[in-house]
Chains A and B, each alone.
Chain A
C-alpha cells in the first residue's frame, strides 16, 4: 500500500502526539472479539498439555513456569522441520501487498489484522532468537523478546485469522500466512491455550468420531428424520445403509450436515441423489466427520482425527470414497491426508459407477468431492432435472476459501448450479474464485461469543452479496461448505437481510426428478414450489 501523501495533506501539521509504535501498543482484549478458553476436561481427553480451565479475560492464564522455553524450543524444532516456515519467517520484504486483502482488516480496521503485521507478531520473536541482526540490534532490527504480553497478543490475533489464504494470492513471494497462523496456534496449543469452541469439538471427534459428539444411534436417528421428511415431500422412502461392509463407496460428510439447518437440507440432497442413482454406498458412524477441527490445534492432532477415514474405508473394504460439501475438510483431505495417513493403496482409483469417468485427479488420495461427482453426472446427462423448481430463487455462489484457493474447485459448483437453477448471478470479480472473501468465521472462529469479530470479517463477503441482491434481486447464497452454511446465515441476517443460505446439493435435490416420485408441492424446506403457492 503506497503512502505518498498529497501536498495539501503534507502541509497539515498534526499537533497530537504520535501514537506508539505497534510493538509498544499492548493488546487489549475486547468483548465480542475472542472465543472462550478451552475446558480442562476436553484438553485432558486429548492429552493436550496444561489441561485446566482457563479464561482469556483473567490476568492469570495458569501457564506452566517454563512456558517461554516450551515455545522457543517448539519454534526451533518447527524451523528445522518445515522449510516453508523458515522461508516465510525470512523472506517477507514488507511490501504491503497483502495488507489490505484480509477481511478482518477490511471490515474491522485494526492494523494488526493486516496479514503482514499479524505475521510480524511472530517474525519479531523469530528475529530475536534466530537471526544475528535481531540478536544484536534488537528492536532496531524489528526483533523483540517473547514476553507474556507478546504471547497474549499472539493468542488474540492468531485467533483473528481464518487461514483463508486470500492474502497469499497477492503476495509476490507466495508467503502462505495461513501457515504462520497454524504455527502460532500450534505453539500455543503446547501451553493449553486453546479455545473452547475448537477443543470441545476436537475432543468429541476423538471420542465419538464427529465434532458434535453424535453417537451412532443419534446419527441414524437424525438421518431417519430426514428420510421421513423426504418421504413426505417426494413420496419416496429411502433406505441408506450404515457401516456396511463390501459397499463400493464410503460417503463421508461434515457432521454439521447431520444436525443444523440449513446443512440438513444439503444432507437430504445427498440422500436423494444417491438413492436416485442407486449407487452401492454406505454411511459410517465411525468415520462420521469430514471436517477436522484438529487442524486448528496442531499437525499431530489433525493427523490423528483424520486417520479414521482411511481406517474405516479399509475396515469396510470399499473401493473409494466420496466426500460431502465442506471447506477446510477438503484442504485437509487434498493436501494432507495422503501424506499423513496414506498411501491408500488398498483402495482403487475412483471411477463413477454411473458414467465410467475415472477421477484421475484423485488417483492417489482416492477421495472425490461430491460436486465433482455430480457435475460429471450432469455432463453425461445421467440425472433428470427440472431447474424450474428453483425458479423462486435468484442464486449467487460463494466460493469457500479452502475449496477455491486450496484445491481449485471453481467450475464444478457453478456448472451444477447453472443446470439446476435458471437464475444465477455472479458477485463482482474481485470477490469470487481465487479472490473470494472468507465468510469471516472459519478455522473454528464460528462461536457466538466472538460475534463482533465474525461480523467484521463477514463484511466484505456480505457487501458483495448485497450488491447482487440490489442489482438482481438475489435471495439465495449457495456454497459448498458446512461452516459457510452455518455462519453466512448470521452474516446475512446482519448485513443483507432477506438473503438465505443453501448448500449446492439442496438445489440439486429440489430440481432432481426421481423415479416414481409424487407431484411435489414443496421444496426441501417445506416452502411451496413455484406455481404451487396457495395450495395446502
Chain B
C-alpha cells in the first residue's frame, strides 16, 4: 500500500528487488547443489557436536559435554599444537616458493612449459607413491638427504620421520614440495591479469626490477595472494592424507594433527559427537583467521 502512494520509493525498491533477483539467478545453480550436498550435511554435523552419537543408535543431546571433555583431552592439545606448527611451517614457505616460481616461470623462454609442468607435477603424483619415495629419501642412514647433509659436513644429520623432533619438519618439506606447483598455477593466472601497460609505465618512470616487483606486481597480485593465503591456511589446518601415508601421526603423537584426531575419534572410537565438536572448533579457528585476513585485505586495498 505504501508502495502505491510514493512512486519514487517503489521504483527504488523494485529496482533493488529486481537486482536481487538477477543476483540470485547467477548464484542459484551453484548454490542449490552446494546447499543440498554440502551445507546441510555440515550443519547436521554441527548439531551432532552437541550430542553423543556412535553413528548407529539414536543420538543423545549432551549440551557442551563434548567441548568440556576436549579441554581435559591431552591429545587434543597436542594435535592442536601440531596443526599450528604445521601451518606456520607450511603456509609462508609454500606461498613464497609459489610466488617466486610463478615470476620465474612467467617468461617467454623456450621450453618454459616443460619447466612449469615439472614444478606442477608433484601435485598430481599419487600420494602412496610419494610417501614411499620420500620415506626412502629421508632414511636416516641410507637416504639421499642425509647422504647430502653428511657430504656438506653435517656429522649428525636428523632422524627425520623416525624421530619425534624431526618428523614434522620432514612432513612440512614434503608438503611445500607438493603444494608449491599448485599455488604457482594460481599465481601464474594472477600474473596474466596484470595489464602490460603498467610495466611499460613503470619502465618509463625508470623503475628497476625490484621497484617494478614491489610497486606493480605485488599490489596487483593482492587478490591472488589473498586467495592463496586463505586456501593454504585452510588446507594446512585440514591436513590429513599426507600425514596418514607418511607417518600415521607418529612417532608417538609427534605428527598427530586435528583432522587425524577427528578421524580417529569418529572411526576408531565411534565418538562422532566428540569428533564433530573438534571439527566445530577447527571451523571456528579457521573462520576466525579468515575473517581477520578479510579485514586486513580490506584495509590494504584502500591504498
Q: Do chains A and B stick together as partners?
A: no
Partner-A contacts on B (CB < 8 A): none
Partner-B contacts on A (CB < 8 A): none
